[in-house]
Amino acid sequence: MAEESRNAFDAIVVGAGFAGMYALHKLRGQGLRVAVLEAGTGVGGTWFWNRYPGARVDIESRDYGYSFDPELEREWRWSERYSAQPELLRYLNHVADRYDLRRDIRFETRVTAARFDERGARWNLTTERGESFSARFVVMATGCLSEPKEIVFPGADDFSGEVYRTFDYPEEGVDFTGKRVAVIGTGSSGIQTITAIAPECEHLTVFQRTPNYSVPANNRPLGTGEQREWDAERDAYRARAKAEPLAFWNDPPERSAFEVTPEERLQEFERRWEFGGFRVGGPFTDTGVDLAANKVLADYAADKIRSIVRDPAIADRLTPKTYPFGTKRLCVDTGYYEVYNRDNVTLVDLRATPIERITATGIETTEREYQVDAIVYALGFDAMTGTLAKLDIRGRGGLTLREKWADGPDTHLGLMIAGFPNLFTVTGPGSPSVLTNMVMSIEQHVEWIAEAIAWLDAHGRTTIEATPEAEAEWVAHVAEVAHQTLYPLADSWYMGANVEGKPRVFLPYVGGFPAYVEACNDAAAEGYRAFRVA
Ligand code: N01
């Protein structure tokens, strides 16, 4: 068979993480000829790449697994309340085996370009190795946090020691015993890395530009009894979770912070802190939308930092002051602040003393040089749009996605883009994605996409794409609901503010999972009127 027909598919899925794996399973089950193109050597997406020490999910294991097959849920046993990266990767490999996914996944196949051929109504894809593929449908399952930020420090290439990035940390791990190590960046990846490696380094120097709020995970082993109880109530639990804005049960607040006495407020904060995780972030109905309510929560968190960190000057440096609580992604930790009570850990405040350059032997700030043997960069990602904009994706008239999104990512429902027919994005900008349980959002997207494809075929249609009008309306709605919250006040990756030159646009949809699902279901129920179907 010629390469042309061998590599011609009904649908090509890009990426073999949670989203791509389910898209393959779902579309293949619908009778389509599907291939998944994956840059890595294995399945797992985020959990394949991010193997840094301490990497662990921040949503409880009970929620962070597929729900599409109750049998899969019943047969898998998580060992901890919050799963660590190796266990998540084992789970995803188990899923790949259980549904025989690997036979349709091409590993080490990095897509570099996708062009829409208007006459043939097909997408032509090219890979880094120069292979060509074509398909009627393309499902971009490329993840929200998959394009790491560049290392921009002058002299970075001159460093003669070891260099690591949290994003593509060595699979075999690194032994830092007896070494002086620097970590730059204190987001979730930095915080988990710092907590994990501090005890083993001879000395650890943390370079912090903006402190993050971090709350305890209160992680613990899970008993089989507990998991059997979950099995019994599984259907009701999943239904309840999907009715929540975050698509997981987060003990939603019922009262305003000012409807209760200060003592009751403190009690509620403490109850949530003891429980751990994201529940700390939503104790009252108004902490996410009202600055005064937010401040009482921020003050409580600052007190907690002061109560843990013995040196008041370090505690102060670790306390966020430039944005409301929860408007940057909350970190969920296991002993993070305690790290700063160790004698072998130094915290450098880069706002006070910025990095001037990396030297052959260390990191030079405006104050002094820190000699280190290894640097771990935890600088974050060009989130939600970076991976897609980096690819050479061309739709109708040769328009590139990069050009189309120059002022911000326009999509309808985070699923489709006007001018890019039959190209679907899973958890794209404008979808709730990173503000929800990603796995539930992924399942909902994949199911919507599969249904749209089935509808097209059943109605003898060839292409579907968002209309510019529907797209403009959705983009305005996404911005409107974001601006009803405090989120836009932070220079976060949610706002695109962590990447120089990126438009300042709130990227995910904050209106909540149920409202979003309703919008998607309505779009399908009304015969895809908000889409151009041909
Ligand atoms: O990235 P980040 P991340 N000079 O962008 C600093 C998910 N996740 O990989 O805030 C100096 O949060 C930057 O400083 P600033 C989760 O959704 C989940 O840690 O820009 N510093 C910041 O401190 C998370 O939110 C899990 O001032 C620079 C850090 O680098 C998302 O992934 C675990 C700098 C980047 O933090 C991203 O997290 C890990 C510079 N030039 C990740 N550039 C869990 O499930 C950047 N920084 C628990």
Name 35's bridge partners. 12
Centroid of ligand 1 to alpha carbon of 184 (angstroms) = 10
Query: Is residue 187 within 6 Å of ligand 1 at its C-beta?
Result: yes
pLDDT score of 5: 79
Instruction: Identify the band that residue 34 occupies on the pLDDT scale cut at 50, 70 and 90.
Output: very high
Q: What share of the chain is helix, strand, coil (3-state, %, to 5)?
A: 35, 20, 45
**CB burial of residue 438 (10 Å; 0-12, 13-18, 19+):** buried
Centroid of ligand 1 to alpha carbon of 187 (angstroms) = 3
pLDDT score of 304: 98
**CB burial of residue 34 (10 Å; 0-12, 13-18, 19+):** buried
How much of the chain, in percent, has pLDDT values that exceed 90? 97
Q: What is the 3-state secondary structure (H, E, C) of 21-53?
A: HHHHHHHHHCCCCEEEECCCCCCCCHHHHCCCC
pLDDT score of 3: 66
> Which residue's CA is the closest to the ligand 1 atom numbered 3?
380
> Which residue's CA is the closest to the ligand 1 atom numbered 8?
188
Centroid of ligand 1 to alpha carbon of 317 (angstroms) = 17
At residue 525, does pLDDT exceed 90? yes
pLDDT, one tens digit per residue, over 127-154 is: 999 999 999 999 999 999 999 999 999 9
pLDDT score of 1: 54
> Which residue's CA is the closest to the ligand 1 atom numbered 12?
187
At residue 495, does pLDDT exceed 60? yes
List C-alpha distances in Å: 277 to 116, 240, 283, 515.
44, 19, 12, 24
pLDDT score of 56: 97
pLDDT, one tens digit per residue, over 279-330 is: 999 999 999 999 999 999 999 999 999 999 999 999 999 999 999 999 999 9
The residue with tokens 């990126």 is 502
Query: Is residue 148 within 6 Å of ligand 1 at its C-beta?
Result: no
> Which residue's CA is the closest to the ligand 1 atom numbered 10?
210
At residue 2, does pLDDT exceed 80? no
CB 265 within 8 A of CB 257: yes
For a mutational test of ligand 1's pocket, the pick from 379, 500, 504, i.e. the residue with the most ligand atoms closer than 8 A to its C-beta, is 379
pLDDT score of 150: 96
Centroid of ligand 1 to alpha carbon of 473 (angstroms) = 31
pLDDT, one tens digit per residue, over 356-397 is: 999 999 999 999 999 999 999 999 999 999 999 999 999 999
Query: Is residue 152 within 6 Å of ligand 1 at its C-beta?
Result: yes
Distance of CA 527 to the CA centre of its chain: 31
Mean pLDDT calculated for residue range 200-211:
98
Query: Is residue 186 within 6 Å of ligand 1 at its C-beta?
Result: yes
Query: Is residue 332 within 6 Å of ligand 1 at its C-beta?
Result: yes
> Which residue's CA is the closest to the ligand 1 atom numbered 11?
209
Mean pLDDT calculated for residue range 461-469:
97
**Ligand 1 atom with the shortest distance to the CA of 188:** 19
Query: Is residue 185 within 6 Å of ligand 1 at its C-beta?
Result: yes
> Which residue's CA is the closest to the ligand 1 atom numbered 16?
188
Which run of H or of E encompasses 360? none
Query: Is residue 57 within 6 Å of ligand 1 at its C-beta?
Result: yes
Centroid of ligand 1 to alpha carbon of 370 (angstroms) = 22
**Ligand 1 atom with the shortest distance to the CA of 350:** 11
In this prediction the pTM is: 0.97
Instruction: Identify the band that residue 202 occupies on the pLDDT scale cut at 50, 70 and 90.
Output: very high
